Amino acid sequence: MRGDAPTHFENGTGASVIPPPSHFIEQDYSRYVERDHETWKTLYNRMIPFWERYANRHYLEGLARLQLHPGRVPRLEQVNGFLNPLTGFQARAVSGYIPAFEFFDCLRNRVFPTTIRVRPTDQLDYYPEPDIFHDVAGHVPMHTDRAFAEVLVRFGECAHEAARRRTDPQAIASNIRAMARFFWFTVEFGLMRTPQGIKAYGSGLLSSHGELEHSIESPAVQRYPLQLEWAINQGFEIDHYQPLLFTVESFDALYEEVGRLIVWMREGKLDNVALGEPEINARDIESFFGTADHRL
SS3 of the chain: the string is CCCCCCCCCCCCCCCCCCCCHHHECCCCHHHCCHHHHHHHHHHHHHHHHHHHHHECHHHHHHHHHHCCCCCCCCCHHHHHHHHHHHHCCEEEEECCCCCHHHHHHHHHCCEEEEECCCCCHHHCCCCCCCCHHHHHHHHHHHHHCHHHHHHHHHHHHHHHHHHHHCCCHHHHHHHHHHHHHHHHHHHHCCEEEECCEEEECCHHHHCCHHHHHHHHHCCCCEEEECCHHHHCCCCCCCCCCCCEEEEECCHHHHHHHHHHHHHHHHCCCCCCCCCCCCCCCHHHHHHCCCCCHHHC
Q: Residue 1's pLDDT is what? A: 32
Q: Residue 125's pLDDT is what? A: 81
Q: What is the pLDDT of residues 205-226, one digit of tens each?
A: 999 999 999 999 999 999 999 9
Q: Which residues, 6+ apart, have CB-to-CB distance to 13 below 8 Å?
A: 296
Mean pLDDT is lowest, of 110-124, 144-158, 228-242, for 228-242
Q: What is the pLDDT of residues 41-64, one digit of tens each?
A: 999 999 999 999 999 999 999 999
Which amino acid appears at position 144 of this protein? T
Domains annotated on the chain, with CATH: 21-270 (1.10.800.10)
The strands making up 244-248's β-sheet, listed across from edge to edge, are: 197-200, 191-194, 244-248, 222-225
CA distance 192 to 72: 30
Q: Please provide the distance, in angstroms rounded to a whole number, between the alpha carbons at the two ends of the chain.
A: 26
Residue 170 has pLDDT above 50, yes or no: yes
Q: Tell me the whole-structure pTM to 2 decimals.
A: 0.89
As a whole number, mean pLDDT of residues 99-115 equals 93
Confirm if 143 and 87 have CB atoms less than 8 A apart: yes
Confirm if 285 and 169 have CB atoms less than 8 A apart: yes
Confirm if 121 and 53 have CB atoms less than 8 A apart: no
CA distance 212 to 130: 17
**Would strands 197-200 and 222-225 be described as parallel, antiparallel, or unpaired?**
unpaired
**Would strands 111-115 and 222-225 be described as parallel, antiparallel, or unpaired?**
unpaired
- Quick one: pLDDT band at residue 100, thresholds 50, 70, 90? confident
Mind telling me the catalytic residues?
A: 134, 139, 188, 207
